[in-house]
Amino acid sequence: MAGRSRFVHQQSLTRFLDGVAWMSQIGMFVVLGLLVFPSNLPDVAVDGLVIAAALILVARPASVLLSLAPFGVPLRDQGLIAWVGLRGAAPIILATFALTEGIEDAGLIFDVVFFVVLTSVLVQGTTIPVVGRWLGVAEPMAAPTSWPIEVTTGTPDGSTLHELAIAPSSAAAGRAVMDLRIPPGTMIVLVERAGSFAVPTGSTVLAADDKLLVLADGEGAERLRHLADGVA
């Protein structure tokens, strides 16, 4: 609830807490490393591979299909979502509960869980780009724009900053800002073109591949997003 609320010094607190979270993750992985004995992993390799195969090939795809099929998500997208279902530190942390409670075969449970997580990361994590291209859903990653501006507090009307890119087929390409019929309360703050930034005026003509930093509420941002994507 706090993360979606607006309050004083929100940006500063978010950055600080993000750093605390990263430090906590580093500490967590250090502790997990102290609990793992690599010499025990070969003894659980067979069981671990069977469980990992069941999760990767059966359980995860089935759960994704049951969860997303009612919403009309394309099968190719579902396939990629199923493949990137990496098991991370959370199951290993849960496995430590068995160790702390001292239950029977707690060490075996921990080793098997760690082996399954390691297998998932190595198999799925290293093949995500290949699987994405095979499914035809891979797209080139756009380089993030470092805007020379930052909003430190929210506006009373709920407007926030949005980053939009003008597609080559966009209805906004080649048109002046004043001709876009931007909703009231929406403002294009900056235009980035070929690495240079400019504050637009009403007569500024937008071009394909321009990036816009827009201050708008949800309705205004959606209108500009349709224009930027090529929808008249």
Tell me: the pLDDT tens digits for 14-31?
A: 889 989 999 988 888 888
User: b/e string for 96-109 if b means 16 or more Cβ within 10 A?
Assistant: bebeeeeeeebeeb
pLDDT, tens digit, for every residue of 73-85?
999 999 999 998 7
pLDDT by residue (tens digit) across 38-52? 888 899 999 999 999
The pLDDT, as a whole number, for residue 49 is 94
User: Where exactly are the structural domains of the chain?
Assistant: 36-135, 160-229
Q: pLDDT tens digit string along 123-140? A: 988 899 899 999 988 877
Can you tell me the distance from the alpha carbon of 120 to that of 48, in angstroms, rounded to the nearest whole number?
10
202/144: higher pLDDT: 202
Read off the pLDDT of residues 144-195 as tens digits, 9 standing for 90 and up. 666 776 655 555 556 777 888 888 888 788 888 888 878 777 888 888 888 8
Rounded to 10 degrees, what is the CA torsion of 24, 29, 33, 36?
Answer: 110
CATH architecture of 160-229: 2-Layer Sandwich (3.30)
Q: For the chain, how many residues are written?
A: 232
Q: Computed over its alpha carbons, how large is the radius of gyration of the chain?
A: 24
The dihedral built from the CA positions of residue 101, 106, 107 and 109, taken in this order, carries a sign that is negative
